[in-house]
A and B are shown apart, each in its own frame.
Chain A
Amino acid sequence: MISFINVKCTFRKNAGVKKLNFSIDDGEFVFLTGPSGAGKSTLLRLIYMDLFPEKGKVLIRDYDSSSIKDRDIPLLRRKVGMIFQDYQLLKDRDVYQNVALALYASHYKTREIKSRVYSVLNQVGLGHRVHHKPTELSGGEQQRVAIARALVKEPIVLLADEPTGNLDPRVSVELINLLNKINKKGTAVIVATHNYSLIPRVPGARLIQMNEGEVTSIT
């Protein structure tokens, strides 16, 4: 489903990735680990085509980074869900509006938006927080909203960049369990993290270790 073929990408001095050659299959759960500056976030950005390789190419199903047109990037991003350490929620909108925004952007009808948003919020355990603003929620709840926003589009892959970076250990475990549950329903999940203690929580997950922009091991 996702293939990195001889990818090199440097977007800042001493930051980026080089010689990436690996694939991720449908429905896989992958942990990306490595120290800061190892290239984990760059790799994720290459998947949702926020960055483009200088050499090689990234393939995501039918989308090819070397030939994709600007107008097709939004279409790709509708198939890729993203979660960030800082949640990236819109603070002036409530939970419902934050999640629904993804569907409005994908031109869904109001009735379908409503049913999908309520369904996904129940799935992440936030059915009772629909009309709260992000500032009224805990960090764990905000990250769940971000997951709901990513999931509501029914993506083929969920990318999480340090999703537990701002959460305490108990909430971090809850979050990984939730991602595992989502993965079991068929969505591929790629989690970039420093938090090695979470890896054993997902039995069977692949581990890709990176350092200085290169993949050092895949297990």
Chain B
Amino acid sequence: MTILWFLFKEGFKGLIRSKYSGVFSIFIITISIMIVGLGYVAARDTLFMVENIKAQFDVDIFIKQTAANDDIASFEKKLAQMEEIEHLGYISPEDAAVKFKKEFGEDIFDILDYNPLPPSFTIRLKPIYRNLISVEAIANILQSDPIVDEVKYRKNFLIILEKYQRIILFSVLGIFVVLTVISIALTSNSIKMTIFARRDIISTMKLIGATDLFVKTPFVIEGTLEGGIGALLASLIIYSFFYLQNTYLQSFFDYRVVVSYRFYIGLIVLGTFMGLVGSRRAVKKFLD
């Protein structure tokens, strides 16, 4: 216990003794965690928006005019049993005519003297199937049914949506990885500066018979504390920022940020981890 308490105290005192280099490490971690945190929320909400748009995505199945009612009923039954389908709607030729009048303002009977609109089904897929590969596969299966005339969906729209979804996802992942690596490197460098400034302690400790672990531990504790404090500051700033947005700016941007306490805990854990890895790396290099 004596040794653990001593090493913890040394780490804590080291943080106070390091002054500017310690403040610099904390500053670097605060900035990095802020960018990672805000980037995460921005990406999450953008992806959520994309998912919402995809939720409006319907597939229309047009039935041949010649199809018998029994065949249409059994086809409907078949659709209802498909596990990929979340919602199914049938539009009879009469319903289609009503819809036509509503959309175009003219009665199809007045124009053509007959109703050429075929019966159709509109299906909405479950969220996991709302992607180009699944939609194409399902459309091909449906198209192969003899009573189906045509399966229509907005393919280009889906391609564009998926493209942006990928860009957002990879950008956020890339930013996250790059910032984490940069933060660890910067933290490690700033801790290296701290260690260099206090190299007399290391040489003295080694001379008096301290093990490498004994020499390293206070510096690692110091770096971990710096990481934790930096992340805590970043969390406070992000919290204030979201509070400001939700309280005063929501009416301007029509956007409300919702994050749980787990998000802030995650940020603090990430910052602490950065400090831990950065300081371990720095001390290891210095001792080797």
Contacts and interface: CB of A to CB of B under 8 A. Distances in A.
B204 interface: yes
A76 B210 CA distance: 10
A187 B209 CA distance: 18
B118 to A, nearest CB: 83
Contacts of A107: 2-3
Contacts of B210: 74, 105
A192 B201 CA distance: 24
Tell me if B's interface is mostly helix, strand, loop or mixed: helix
B240 interface: no
A109 B203 contact: no
Interface centre among B201, B211, B214 (most CB of A within 10 A): B211
A113 B201 CA distance: 19
Contacts, number: 52
Given A104-B2, A110-B2, A75 B209 contact: yes
B200 A90 contact: yes
Interface string A107-136: 111100100000000000000000000000
Q: How large is the interface on B (under 10, 10 to 19, 20 to 34, 35 or more residues)?
A: 10 to 19
A78 B201 contact: no
Contacts of A153: 208-209
Contacts of B205: 101, 105
A105 B2 CA distance: 11
Interface of A: 48, 50, 71, 74-78, 82, 88-90, 92, 101-102, 104-110, 113, 149, 153
Interface of B: 2-3, 6, 17, 200-201, 203-211, 214
4 nearest interchain CB pairs?
A78-B209, A105-B210, A77-B209, A102-B208
29 contacts: A48-B207, A50-B207, A71-B211, A74-B209, A74-B210, A74-B211, A74-B214, A76-B209, A77-B207, A77-B209, A78-B209, A82-B208, A88-B200, A88-B204, A89-B204, A92-B17, A101-B205, A101-B208, A104-B2, A104-B3, A104-B6, A104-B214, A105-B209, A105-B210, A105-B211, A106-B209, A108-B2, A109-B2, A110-B2
